[in-house]
Amino acid sequence: MSLISRSRYLAAGSLSALTLAAAMASGSVFAESVTQEMINNDHLHTDRVTSYGMGPHGQRYSTLDHINRETVSDLTPAWAFSFGGELQRGQESQTLVHNGKIFVTGSYSRLWALDVQTGRLLWSYSHRLPDGISPCCDVVNRGPAIYDDLVIFGTLDAQLVALDMETGRVRWRDTIADYRAGYSYTAAPMIANDLLITGNSGGEFGAVGEVQARNPRNGEIVWTRPVVEGHTGKLPGGEESVTGTTNASWEGSAWEQGGGAPWLGGTYDPELNLIYIGTGNPAPWNAHSRPGDNLYTSTTLALDADTGEIKWHYQTTPNDHWDYDGVNELVLFDMELDNGTVIKAGAKADRNGFFYVLDRTNGRFLSGDAFVDNITWAERIDSDGRPVETGNRPGNPAETEGDRGESVTVAPAFLGGKNWNHMSYSQRTGLFYIPSNEWEMEIWNEPVTYRRGAAYLGAGFTIKPIYDDKVGVLRAFDPKTGQVKWEAPNPTPLWASVMTTAGGLVFTGTPEGYLKAFDDETGEVLWQFQTGSGVVGQPVTWEMDGEQYISVVSGWGGAVPLWGGEIGPLVRHISQGGMLWVFKLHNGGHVASR
């Protein structure tokens, strides 16, 4: 891979008026660069967080145990940083920590570098967004990637921006896709195989999903892989490569605007050199207009990290009619069976309400069990891994005299048994901790015609609560048995990611504004802190100067207040905000050396 030209600075946004000298004062310009090896071993090191998901496997588990069930009651804020201004909305970011700095993104495509000890602003970047952007589900950003001496993040107008880690200067910028055609980008990029891996958003606008791999030092494309059959990708040598077989699972020309946006990002197995990434719903929502399984939408893909070629696939919702997507993360873990056999497995809590366990080496289906109480679109997952449907699909508008087909009530609602917010796997308990939701929807189909850049749904819907006293439920789930070990209900939907630790704790946030710590064996709430706005961010932890720290972003927003239907009155009172909170134990102490 070619080295970046240090003179290639692009004026892509507004840099804060801090001088280079001030930035250099916060840390040496010869600071340690981030390597692929560091990212691959992120889960083994506690003094930094260099990857999304706290390790390439996406387990969101830390071996730190200084903050534990006995000490967590002493947890208190160390410092906080306000994102400021009027640009609030949903704050779904995960922080990265390296070289004395903490990097965090915010709504409207902003990024800050802070002193990790004090929260002092070192530099900031605010992307200049054009008119006419089309983000589906709020103006969120879920975090950056770091590699070499760069901080890289995506923007709502479907661009990538690479910034100098020390100064915040733009080193390169490139376009993922054309925002005027409905494309956008909200995920955190991933570093795998010394490549920068991204997907795209825009399935609700007929945007075709694609995974792209770049040289992270200069942004040059290495390979691309469209995720809808019939579209053409690029191999590393420049040769073209068609995805699947045209019309194999799509009829006519429906595949041309087939959706499938891989809008959440993925995980990576360095040993197998496989990238696992989920794809979104097919377009339009009206499935009567696109008969067939519609590969590779609502699917988990395993991609060869060298070439981007599809090594295996597993589709969770064939011919998706409910916007169940398939983007939810495949968390990689080793599952030991009762006979002592260890399987290299991957687990996924899908929006459709089922929890899947797969052999991550080949995609073989191992199990599929409900993790929510209410599933009415399917009875079960059969032994071949396909859903046994109930027939609860909305009617075809072409078969009615009006402009909409017969409506049905189905659970889960399209926002899912679990949405984008990540579950966590605890190596201590062997359980997954799932931020789930119990809701249903009335849904109906409508005629629709594709128009570039316009919404391409062909459906209407209303989300409704099922229970009077809860929507969100944090569940501890056993992947071996398919059983829920405990659950902790919440009055409003859970929209924050989950983190577990060796201290016997499960951390997540609530729309009511609390960061909470649960006992990982019982589900008892052991500690909580009111952040001032709804928590829909992603907690992480690290150690510094002998102490353990925890951070989380607070700021209410995301898809729920935009698409929540009858859930709206439950969350209408929640204030918006934008803060990064960092916590440690009030009485200090020291982390045991490792």
Enumerate the active-site residues: 323
Query: Which residues touch 503 (CB under 8 Å, ≥6 apart)?
Result: 64, 65, 66, 67, 68, 69, 71, 72
| Residue 500 near residue 468, CB atoms below 8 Å | no
Which has the closest alpha carbon to 166: 28, 6, 8? 28
Residue 189: is the preceding peptide bond cis (ω within 30°)?
no
Query: Which residues touch 577 (CB under 8 Å, ≥6 apart)?
Result: 88, 91, 531, 532, 533, 534, 554, 555, 556
The one-letter amino acid code at 231 reads: H
The Cα–Cα gap between 103 and 124 comes to 10
| Residue 284 near residue 459, CB atoms below 8 Å | yes
Between the alpha carbon of residue 494 and those of residues 73, 210, 471, 489, 535, the distances in Å are: 23, 29, 8, 9, 9
Between the alpha carbon of residue 469 and those of residues 389, 439, 472, 492, the distances in Å are: 29, 12, 10, 9
Q: Which two structure tokens, joined as six digits, stand for 96?
A: 């990265």
Between the alpha carbon of residue 243 and those of residues 223, 224, 406, the distances in Å are: 13, 10, 35
The Cα–Cα gap between 587 and 74 comes to 7
The Cα–Cα gap between 471 and 483 comes to 20
Q: Which two structure tokens, joined as six digits, stand for 536?
A: 């829909």
The residue length of the chain stands at: 594
- b/e burial code for range 334-367 (CB count within 10 A of at least 16 → b): ebeeeeeeebbbbbbbbbbbbbbbbbbbebebbb
